[in-house]
Structure 1
Amino acid sequence: MDTKGLVVAVALGSLLVMPVAGVAADGAEGRGLANVKQFTLDHSRRLVAQAELLEAGLADYHGVIAAHGGDYAAAWDADGARLAEQVGAIRALWLEASNHYETIEGIVAGIPETARYDLILDAGNPGTDSEDVAEYDLSLPDGTVLKRPGNLFHGITEPLFWGMEETGIKLPADLDGDGTVTRGEMLFDANLGLGAARALTFWAKALEADMAAWKPNREDAFTSVVVMTPTVGDYFGEWKESQFISGEIGAFVARSRLSDVQGIMSGCRRMYTEALSPVVAAGDADLDSRIKAGFEELLALVEDTHAREAAGTSFGAEEADALGNEAQDIADRIVALVLQAAAKAEVEIRG
């Protein structure tokens, strides 16, 4: 590990032992809510640290391009090896940052106090859409302000860093040095990349601050599970439409969408087992067992499908549809049981 990485690791270690404030319940439920908050904070802090590293990587890349007056061809001729290395490092940093967010998305997106961050960071639409718009503007280093440009991870940076949108490609380039230029081998817009990386750091820090201030409660926990668990079918639909199934260039190109589904649904399961299971089991142990079994069945389906894909299985559109429908059916059964449990506990699901 280099010195910079060691400093980040030490900083993270000190952050992860910070106490959690604002937990408003006692006993097993209180401990479970505290555990969920601590887990989410841990990954929020890691997301911030990773976003800062990504921003630094983009600043270096931007600096090389700027040193050649914004001439990408001249920059490639003079510093091609360095730029190729930087693009590879930026992609690796992006994947790690995205991993930390996907791990907690199932929690963050389901809590009313933090749901807006999911739209900004990962799931929101541009302002040209009529709903689920990411409510922020993106300022770029050259002074340009993009109004409501869409979410930062999958809407802007992923297609930019992997060269999947023509407008972001500044120069096709043989990044791996094999003598040919294939899809995704290019220099991307440094101005947009650095601006987006700065925004990612800003909003990751804002999420961390709001998560630290969040006071976990039973209503939020029930709401989170009810809101996020049934989204699994939508994620399978995105997997079906991605290049991993359709072969068409679009979103979700850096890795299979199934990787994200695992993280999101694991977060839903964690919220239930840590924060809600003690409440539900106290009143109806059988209902609690059925809900937990449902989550195990759902995660087993997602994990098995992802493992098969990683092992080389090619899925067609019809099989992807069938798997998505199966996952959705399981999720719908889980939610019906959780709603039953919420009614028994006299908990109102928050909008």
Structure 2
Amino acid sequence: MIIYPSLEKGATIGVTAPSSGLSSELHPLLKQAIERMEKAGYKVVCGETPWTQSKAKSADATLRAAEFNDMMKRQDIDLVFPPWGGELLIEMLPFVEYSIQKPKWILGYSDISVLLLAVTLTTGIATAHGTNLIDLRGEETEATTAMWETILSASEGDSVLQHSSEKYQEKWDHENPSPHVYHLTERTEWKTVSRQAEQIKGRLLGGCIDVIRHLIGTPFGNVASFKEEHIPGEPVIWYLENCELNTADLRRSLVQMKMAGWFNGCSGILFGRSAANEPVGGYTVEDVYHDLAKELQIPVIYDIDCGHVPPQVTLINGAWAEVGVVEGRGTILQHFKR
């Protein structure tokens, strides 16, 4: 059984930095994002950690966990929304209190996906992999990213359909900000290893592979136990996105996940677009995808709207999904099924 939080209009957003905060020269970005949320009708409670950054993290692991735990306990906070990711969130996992009394959404990606996956695997509470708070600071929010509100506002039993974006951003241009932050210039095309239309169904789990791979072998990465307790007999669709790994490191990570049993009962794998994936000795990322599809005998879909090459869809860890690709266009229908 999966437990789904729900977000109501006028809800209160708690902003904390379980990974990286912002150095002083970047504070205007966070202030702008908070103002946008308030103009949209939300109340915002901001902790201390988002305003500090030293030695690759916002604060000591115990302080980060304490602020996060406090926001999860507070009855007046409905969504915990970190400013962005970072590097060392994994340090705080042992100090997180997983006995959550009031289920509430946690939304983010990159290093935040370590926390998202750990919470879902440990508690059976759905978490949301999607936009960062900082990326919502623009005058407008483009259509794919904007679906985060619709999805988080859904209730148990509801279904929400998302479509692949029309265009994606090839590179950041911070010197020339656009009304919706992103600079969408390249035509989006979801691809399949089979080069044919694909349709896969299952429970979604995933995140940034650079960091969630480090949950393997820890108390916070027990996929087998999660499946047995919360989704017995149901297949899993893994969604993965690569921030910085070359193809050899990506391949090693996937083999480790396979050997750890994470892909047992997997019905398909989705890979987000990536600016990394540097080939090693002629071994390309397409080779990685083909090897994985052949070994596991499952569909592999890649270059989807997920991760560090925006925009991105909002994917719910634990939700039942139907993912389809036809002639480069993709759909993800998520069911808030217990």
TM-score range for the pair, normalised by the shorter chain length: under 0.3
Give the greater-gyration-radius structure (CA).
Answer: 1
Q: Which structure shows the bigger proportion of residues in strand conformation?
A: 2
State TM-score, norm by structure 1. Answer: 0.25
State TM-score, norm by structure 2. Answer: 0.26
Q: Which structure shows the bigger proportion of residues in helix conformation?
A: 1
